[in-house]
Structure 1
Amino acid sequence: MTTPVLWQLAQTTVPVEGRAEEFPVRRVYCVGRNYLDHIREMREGDERDDPFFFQKPTDAVVGDGSAVPYPPQTADLQFEGELVVAVGSSASAVSPREALGHVFGYAAGIDLTRRDRQRDCRDMARPWEAGKSFDNSAPCGVILPAERVPSILTGQLALSVNGHEHQRTSLELMIWNVPEIISHLSHSYRLMPGDLIYTGTPAGVAAVRPGDRIRVEITGLPALTVTISEGDPRASQ
């Protein structure tokens, strides 16, 4: 009989506003094509369709104030400012009407994207992992518990780089709103406490370089700020 190898893996957590305990991350889901203006800027058509989802590794999550090393294998690292939903209870095949009852809280987030790699994957009809699911690619701000958020179906999201605004939208412009996203996702996966859902980005995405400071602000939520740092030159060799 063999003995399994046991590794002491660090638990990825996100701070919670006003609490000593942190939110332990289980899975990271992301929604694609959820703002019409972003679909158009990516030249992917202009029609509403069913939402689709991809995942990032749990340890891609980094917190507010982090320095994010410029990743290897890209010359076009882009930001996508997003609302993040933190799941607080098990949800399987729930209706939109039931969905918000499973939410623990909300946070500001960034879906960092190796856009050149993503386009390569799209052109070859391959999964998006090379463009989306890399180290440090899911910055997440401090989570505000749901009971302290008056209404997440409205409000503004804004992203700036070095103080210059690039993205601004109303959350009402999501093609699929938060309850609909949770409902759709819960019909494909059993959502569990610890899951994070990045809900999509509006138009205005652009490239960043080492030294750039990215800030995401969402009405009523703690702001998220990260800085892009120099990457490891050995990683590109």
Structure 2
Amino acid sequence: MTHLFDPAPVFALPVTGEDATYPVNRIFCVGRNYAAHAAEMGATVDREAPFYFTKTPVHAVQSGATLPYPPATDDYHHEMEFTFALSAPLFRATRDEAEAAIFGYGTGLDMTRRDLQAKAKETRRPWDISKDAEGAVVLSGLTRKDAAGPLAGKAIRLTVNGEVRQDATLDDMIHDVTDILVHLSTLYHLAPGDLVMTGTPAGVAAVVEGDVLHGTVDGLQPVDLTLTARE
């Protein structure tokens, strides 16, 4: 049996110092995981449990991409994020099981059509089109957990055209990596290939045609994106 058309290629990320790549199966995103960002968005923080939305791997691009400013928006925002990826299945995991299942860490950009998101919130409709759009997730390569070292104190930053826009530490996350995994594993049968974006610090703002974005987390591969004129 043959396909009617060629299926989308597997989206995979390079791994620091290795030839093999990491194929991405699902992308889970944590919302409002930094108190200062929640405040700047006029939202309250749920400290009891994280909440999630998803992005589609077919919409993902690797760091270093040059993309046109997206359609249907005049308010495109950057959200710099720390990411982690799994190497083992998880379901209703303990903290020890969750920690053991982490493959490695990376950086990412959760790009958002903020005007579309605001309109969806006003009408109490899903805001998938604001978050899960072509090129709206940009991901760095991954660094294995052991090579990356402890997360405590690591800075997370984003510059646009060399100017600092976002600057915090991973310690500012409300729900840490293990908390997120333990909770997420009560909702899904997690598996290798699943990647989690852990939320963004304060300082999100609009970008325009010609902007160059550069995001870092100490000790990890950076994430870069250049925006060109809209099509």
User: Normalised by the size of structure 1, how large is the TM-score?
Assistant: 0.93
Partner of 1:38: 37
Map 1:138-157; keep pairs closer than 5 Å: 138-157=137-156
CA shift digits 1:46-102 (9 cap, x unpaired) = 563421101011112211211122111110000000001111111111123321211
Q: Does 1:72 align with 2:71?
A: yes
Give 3-state SS (helix, strand or coil) of 2:164's partner.
strand
State the aligned residue count. Answer: 231
Higher strand share: 2
Aligned pairs (5 A) from 1:118-157? 118-157=117-156
Find the counterpart in structure 2 of residue 106 from structure 1: 105
Q: Which moved more, 1:145-154 or 1:32-41?
A: 145-154
8 Å CA contact 1:29–1:196 kept in 2: the answer is: yes
Question: Paired residue for 2:50?
Answer: 51
**Cα shift at 1:190:** 1.1
Correspondence 1:190 to 2:189: yes
Identity %: 35
Q: Distance in 1 between matches of 2:36 and 2:48?
A: 14
Report the Cα offset of residue 6 of structure 1: 5.7
Residues of 2 paired with 1:176 and 1:56: CA distance? 20
* C-alpha RMSD of the superposition: 1.6
Compared CA separation, residues 131 and 219, structure 1 to 2 (3 A): same
Stretch of structure 1 that moved more, 95-104 or 76-85: 95-104
Matched, 1:179 2:178: yes
Structure 2 unpaired stretches of 5+: none
| Aligned mates of 1:12, 1:148 — CA distance in 2 | 23
Q: Distance in 1 between matches of 2:4 and 2:113?
A: 34
Give the Cα separation in 1 of the matches to 2:177 and 2:152: 7
Is the contact made by 1:121 and 1:128 (CA closer than 8 Å) also made in structure 2?
yes
Residue of structure 2 in register with 1:224 after alignment:
223
- Cα displacement string for residues 153-179 of structure 1 (whole angstroms, at most 9, x for unaligned residues): 431100000000010111011010000
- Structure 1 gap ranges (5+): 233-237
